[in-house]
Amino acid sequence: MEPKTYTYLHLNENLDPEDYVICDYRVTTDMPMEKAADAIAAEQSTGTWTGLTTLKKGVIDKYGARVTEINGNNIRVAFPSEDFSVDIGGVPQILSVIAGNLFGLEALKKVRLEDVRFPKSILEQFPGPKHGAAGLRSVLKRKEKPLVGTIIKPKIGLSPKEMADYVYESGLGGLTNSKDDETLTNQVFCPIEDRTVAIAESLDRLEQEGIHMIHAINISTSGHKILEVADKVQSLGAKQIMVDVITCGFAAVQVLAEDPSVKVPVHVHRTMHGAMTRDRDHGIAMLPIAKLVRMCGGDALHIGTLGVGKMSGDVGGDMDNLRACTDESVPYKTVMPVCSGGVYPGMVGRLVERSGLTVQIQAGGAVAGHPGGVRKGAMAMSQAVEAAYNGIPADKYAETHEELKLALEKWGMK
């Protein structure tokens, strides 16, 4: 069937990227791909399932999405920038266009948003990171080496004092970062105010001993409360805050980045992302999420473990996420990519080979689970990062570093 029979098909049309939001989708369907692509463009812009008496002449030409490329199961759709709200729309409205009703189209078996590129007119509406990777390095006085951190384990169940002791031991072991886990917020066994104060005291002790470290307090909560909680924990000494972007929403990241009361870096966790990203043929890839987090102002973002950790993912996809954090062609500060999820010292070398030095490597179980305890677990992770930074294989470095040796004996090399 001739492409011209489809209203929204404009294959190989040369468009000015500054006038469009350009999206790549992967589509699974039994219908001709031209028809499927046309249906997506129609549903997400000016069309519907039937003819309209209200459709004025020129509306489709001006506001209709345009299918510019079909390559097997992959299609490219360009949405006119005029389709997106100015100022008040933000990410919620953007997602309603590029990742909205199309997932429910009955004729499509599966569809996945793989990538999105925004014009300058939209990018300039968002703040980008307030601190970014360079800001984190400055706070930690760590110019070149990868950051190395921990997630306090167990996820829940420790008291504020126990968490503070964990942070202090981690700092003595050489870590630069620690954080709450995604499920810990303000439970009765570990109230957020008590936890923040206790951890701040540990960080102050470390600072007095010449050790620079920060901890991210998880402030994930209801939208109307998040600034209040951010202000509260900052007043109690928090040096970094964390927000779960999928469960709280992109607007939560944006308000933290934009509000002048928030002075500390924002660490962004991606919990629940797998509900959208895990199926390679349906949902939303992590890459668009990473780009939106950077636009909204996240300073650090979990990107996966570049194919070597416990979480589902692939090297190519995780590398795309890393590049989205560090790409200097967009008008924002770079985001610190965070590799976390089943990380242990024996895999650090491979991680750094793939990530480069601009990365934050985090381990929870490998710190708390070390045979020598938290401090020696932190030392083992720090030694693994030091070895990778200097291009020395971990097993070679372990010959003169007992903590790393014990970790390799327990978990091996990868």
CATH of the domain at 22: 3.30.70.150
**Do 33 and 139 belong together in one domain?**
no
pTM reported for the whole predicted model: 0.95
Q: Quick one: how far is CA 219 from the chain centroid?
A: 16
**Do 109 and 24 belong together in one domain?**
yes
**Do 170 and 290 belong together in one domain?**
yes
Q: How far is Cα 233 from Cα 149, in angstroms, rounded to an integer?
A: 21
Q: Among residues of the chain, what percentage have pLDDT more than 70?
A: 98
- What's the structural domain count of the chain? 2
User: How far are the Cα atoms of 153, 169, 255, 367, 375 from residue 410, in angstroms, in the given order?
Assistant: 18, 21, 43, 12, 16
Last residue of a domain, one of 103, 123, 143: 123
Whether residue 312 is predicted with pLDDT greater than 70 in this model: the reply is: no
**Do 118 and 189 belong together in one domain?**
no
Whether residue 2 is predicted with pLDDT greater than 60 in this model: the reply is: no
Strand partners, 339: 361
Last residue of a domain, one of 86, 102, 123: 123
**Do 60 and 139 belong together in one domain?**
no
Lowest mean pLDDT, pick from 12-16, 314-318, 391-395: 314-318
**Do 50 and 81 belong together in one domain?**
yes
Last residue of a domain, one of 123, 146, 171: 123
Tell me the per-residue pLDDT of 338-364, one tens digit each, with 9 for 90 and over.
999 999 999 999 999 999 999 999 999
**Do 225 and 247 belong together in one domain?**
yes
Q: Quick one: how far is CA 60 from the chain centroid?
A: 35
Which of the four pLDDT bands, split at 50, 70 and 90, describes residue 3? very low
**Do 290 and 392 belong together in one domain?**
yes
Tell me the per-residue pLDDT of 114-125, one tens digit each, with 9 for 90 and over.
999 999 999 999
Mean pLDDT over 313-337 rounds to 93
* DSSP-H helix ranges across 174-301: 192-208, 226-235, 245-248, 250-258, 274-277, 286-296
Q: Among residues of the chain, what percentage have pLDDT more than 90?
A: 90
Which of the four pLDDT bands, split at 50, 70 and 90, describes residue 57? confident
Predicted local distance difference test score (pLDDT) of residue 311: 61
What are the tokens at 233?
């924990």
Structural domain boundaries enclosing 364 = 132-411
Predicted local distance difference test score (pLDDT) of residue 307: 86
Output the domain CATH number for residue 398: 3.20.20.110
Strand partners, 345: none
**Do 200 and 112 belong together in one domain?**
no
Mean pLDDT over 391-408 rounds to 98
**Do 115 and 184 belong together in one domain?**
no
Whether residue 1 is predicted with pLDDT greater than 50 in this model: the reply is: no
Whether residue 290 is predicted with pLDDT greater than 90 in this model: the reply is: yes
Report the catalytic residues.
153, 269
Predicted local distance difference test score (pLDDT) of residue 66: 97
**Do 14 and 79 belong together in one domain?**
yes
DSSP symbol at 93: H
Please report, in angstroms and rounded to a whole number, the separation of the first and last CA atoms in the chain.
52
Query: How confident is the prediction for the chain on average, in pLDDT?
Result: 95
**Do 117 and 151 belong together in one domain?**
no
